A and B are shown apart, each in its own frame.
Chain A
Amino acid sequence: TQLLEQSPQFLSIQEGENLTVYCNSSSVFSSLQWYRQEPGEGPVLLVTVVTGGEVKKLKRLTFQFGDARKDSSLHITAAQPGDTGLYLCAGVSGYALNFGKGTSLLVTP
């Protein structure tokens, strides 16, 4: 199983701040997915990055896939309380989608 390491594990910030979370691996992935999970719910897909160096934007969220396709980052601009949740990166290894341990983000007003 290819391991995905996420950092930081926890992040607590004020509304309006910017933040970046990271997803790293020693293995190459054909693609990486980012999910957000809210309390009491299952993860929901935000984006899939496929090409090395690719940058995708989803409103205030910017996702980047590393050139070597071993890492990815998620940058949130002007965070809002609605961004609060667990952010998970995931990549395919073998037959299944394997997840990192997540970054738990809390945005306070």
Chain B
Amino acid sequence: DTEVTQTPKHLVMGMTNKKSLKCEQHMGHRAMYWYKQKAKKPPELMFVYSYEKLSINESVPSRFSPECPNSSLLNLHLHALQPEDSALYLCASSQRLAGEGGELFFGEGSRLTVL
């Protein structure tokens, strides 16, 4: 079992819908990440939060809006998505950004389908 919990596991939404993906960890990690993984591709970094502040935005379109309400929670708000945004969205956390403790722990992902 993973200690990073993502909900929902599956989400189907229309292009005009607004939805959110949620991620929770209770390991006391101070860095949290969103990755996107398309079929037969490696995970691609979207956002990094460190101590609840956005640290990296990998030029992600504004229709994806991350939020880190506290050190245990990470949300990804979705609005006006396109069918090509359909993918597995992975949340990860790490104890710290660099050095020992910098390894990522992944959730099982939220599989998003945009119709």
Pair from one complex: no
